[in-house]
Every structure is written in C-alpha cells, then in structure tokens.
Amino acid sequence: MSRKALSPVISSLILSAAVIVIGGAVWSYSVGAATSIADGYVNDTLNLSDEVTERFMVEHVDIDAGLDTLSVWVYNYCSQSITVDTYIKDGNIVIGSTLGSIIEKGDTSMITIEIIPRSSNDEVSIKIHSRRQNDTYETFYVP
C-alpha cells in the first residue's frame, strides 16, 4: 500500500474539522445577533404600545386663598401607571413645577405646586408632561 493515499484523507479530515469549527462559530454569532435584534424589537414595540395607549387629562384646577399654591387634579385613564412632571407658566416664565408624580391606572391624583403669588384675573398655563413624552395642557384664570 502506498503512503500517498493516506495523506489526502488526513488533510480532508483536517479541512472538514476546520470548516465545521468556523461554521459553528459563525452560526453561534449569527444566532446571538438575531436574538439580540429580536429582543430589542420586542421591547421597543412594547414601549411604543405603552406610549400610544397612555391617556391622562386635567380634571380640575384650584388655587388657595393666598394665591400661591395651585392644586391640579390629573386623571389617568389608561391601563398602566404613569409618572408626570407638572409645569405652571405665566407666559414663557415658569412660576412653579413639580417632578415625578406617580398616578396609578384609573386614579385621579391631586398635585400641589407652590407658585409665585398671583393676582386676581391672572392667566396661568398648566403643562402635564409624562415620562413617555405625552403632554396635556390646561389654562387657568385666577378668580
């Protein structure tokens, strides 16, 4: 038997093993990348769904007798709790704000904001901004 016949068989086995190892590494990387992309897509879609279904409104606004504390009742009528920031403006000047008020789903929450004292018949703008980037606005005239 000739020794030349054994050499091509061994080289074929070595090349086959190298192809299998490299192919396995490429397959493993592509599965990991595809899983990561799919997870990101699902999370982004769920976050967008929460953002689109988020609904809240200003139910009522009142000011105390000293005209320096504004109470805003916000109704959350969506299916998840929300975190809102409240800004009170006189024109372009912020005269009061409060950050991070949590309102549970289906609840009406009173948010109390200390403001710069107002005079009777002053107009103030109220902006409620959620952490999911939704806004609602209300205008209040001081009695």
Task: Verify that 97 and 136 share a domain, yes or no.
Answer: yes
Task: Verify that 107 and 79 share a domain, yes or no.
Answer: yes
Percent over 90 (pLDDT), the chain: 71
pLDDT, tens digit, 9 for 90 and up, residues 10-39: 888 999 999 999 999 999 999 999 999 999
Task: State the virtual CA torsion across 131, 136, 137, 138 in degrees, nearest 10.
Answer: -120
Task: Verify that 66 and 42 share a domain, yes or no.
Answer: no
**Banded pLDDT at 9 (limits 50, 70, 90):** confident
Task: Verify that 123 and 76 share a domain, yes or no.
Answer: yes
Name the least confident of 16-20, 33-37, 44-48, 138-142: 44-48
Task: Verify that 88 and 48 share a domain, yes or no.
Answer: no
Task: Verify that 16 and 63 share a domain, yes or no.
Answer: no
Q: How many domains does the chain have?
A: 2
Q: Are 111 and 129 within 8 A, CB to CB?
A: no
Q: How far apart are CA 125 and CA 87, in angstroms?
A: 8
Predicted pLDDT at 3: 57
Identify which has the larger pLDDT, 2 or 127.
Answer: 127
Task: Verify that 68 and 36 share a domain, yes or no.
Answer: no
Query: Average model confidence (pLDDT) for the chain?
Result: 91
pLDDT, tens digit, 9 for 90 and up, residues 78-113: 989 999 999 999 988 999 999 999 999 999 999 999
Task: Verify that 89 and 131 share a domain, yes or no.
Answer: yes
Domain that holds residue 23: 3-52
Predicted pLDDT at 47: 82
